[in-house]
Structure 1
């Protein structure tokens, strides 16, 4: 019987105490199933309780200068397992995500798919027309360009991550940069949702988010101010 794929989850943080608990909690069922084997929180110098939350959750905590791309690269370097899952600290994977991820990883390991990486379906934790419009733009972008946002997570084997050159030390659009090097046609969007905190859109306005996301090279994360 083939060995079950094992994941190291890597979460870059900076003052993420409000959202990190939900992100970590969503990983518990996959940890109980033996799919998630370690969680690495790479903190960029938080001044809140982010580090304490990570420690209490049993995550490995690494501290680096604040640079999201460099934080993710440091987490990947420290990871001990053959699959890497990069998540933002305000992204919550919906229940059951691990089953679809497990199927994808097994297909990649068997060589039965040309895909090298996977992301999840973009969703926002808000009601109404504006968030649904933003989600629709994300779906359209993925369908036409195969360019998921960093908010959608990225599941990739260590081998393919290293072949692509890993994350570069970019503090924004590091997701776009890596996807381009992986090759958009090699990225699959799974049906399980990655649900992002919509607080930043409520703060700056959904119209700004919609207009920003009409440009295919601009990721929602650039909205954080």
Structure 2
């Protein structure tokens, strides 16, 4: 049903946290595959990805990952983000009845004040992005990376919970 795309650079620990949160959805068949797009890691990111059974791409960036994805719907997340239990139901319902992109909602423990949200706007994947492969492919032609692809999109807000990656 979903291909999960994660863009990384020296994110071995953060990637492991994100992958752990996807296990239940993979067992349920909601997550069909995880593709890790690496942008030049020098740590053990490759080992973490391959050990978890992910496809690991080092060439072609996000466009190559979109092309390689087997599913018609994609979920893009930052390394370190954790999907909150129960996220699959709203996402599945969305992909079954909609064509527009969507973002997940921050978990209750991770909701931020308006000012903090305003200043974190430079991270367009902070709440993930659910998007059709066709739409993502069209956007990837002009985007150099996953964040550029996600920036400025009109999206629907889903009740699916995400705990964003902690960034400095």
In which range does the TM-score fall when normalised by the shorter chain? 0.7 to 0.9
Cα distance in 2, alignment partners of residues 91 and 167 from structure 1 = 25
Change (3 A) 1:166 1:122: farther
Matched, 1:83 2:73: yes
Matched, 1:189 2:157: yes
Cα distance in 1, alignment partners of residues 135 and 147 from structure 2 = 22
Q: Which runs of 5+ in 2 are unaligned?
A: none
- After TM superposition, the score normalised by the length of structure 2 is 0.84
How far is 1:77 from its partner?
1.3
1:185-224, aligned counterparts within 5 Å?
187-200=155-168
The structure with the largest alpha-carbon Rg is: 1
Cα distance in 1, alignment partners of residues 76 and 146 from structure 2 = 15
How far is 1:168 from its partner?
1.0
Cα distance in 2, alignment partners of residues 76 and 26 from structure 1 = 22
Runs of 4+ in 1 over 6 A off after TM superposition: none
Cα distance in 1, alignment partners of residues 56 and 90 from structure 2 = 28
Normalized per residue, the structure richer in helix is 1
Higher RCO by CA contacts (8 Å cutoff, separation 6 or greater): 2
How far is 1:134 from its partner?
5.5
**2:5 is paired with a residue of what secondary structure?**
strand
- Which of 132, 137, 143 is equivalent to 2:112? 132
How far is 1:132 from its partner?
2.8
- Identify the residue that residue 100 of structure 2 maps to in structure 1: 116
Cα distance in 1, alignment partners of residues 45 and 109 from structure 2 = 21
Cα pair 2:63 2:140 within 8 Å, conserved: no
Cα pair 1:20 1:89 within 8 Å, conserved: yes
Matched, 1:53 2:48: yes
How far is 1:175 from its partner?
2.4
- Which of 35, 38, 42 is equivalent to 2:33? 38
Cα pair 1:125 1:198 within 8 Å, conserved: no
Note the aligned Cα RMSD (angstroms). 2.7
Q: Please list the CA deviations of residues 72-95 of structure 1 after superposition, one character each: whole Å capped at 9, or x if unmatched.
A: 222111111111111111211111
- Identify the residue that residue 8 of structure 2 maps to in structure 1: 13
Cα distance in 1, alignment partners of residues 22 and 140 from structure 2 = 27
Count of residues in correspondence between the two structures: 165
Cα distance in 1, alignment partners of residues 107 and 115 from structure 2 = 6
Cα pair 1:120 1:189 within 8 Å, conserved: yes
How far is 1:133 from its partner?
1.8
Cα distance in 2, alignment partners of residues 107 and 90 from structure 1 = 29
Cα distance in 2, alignment partners of residues 49 and 165 from structure 1 = 27
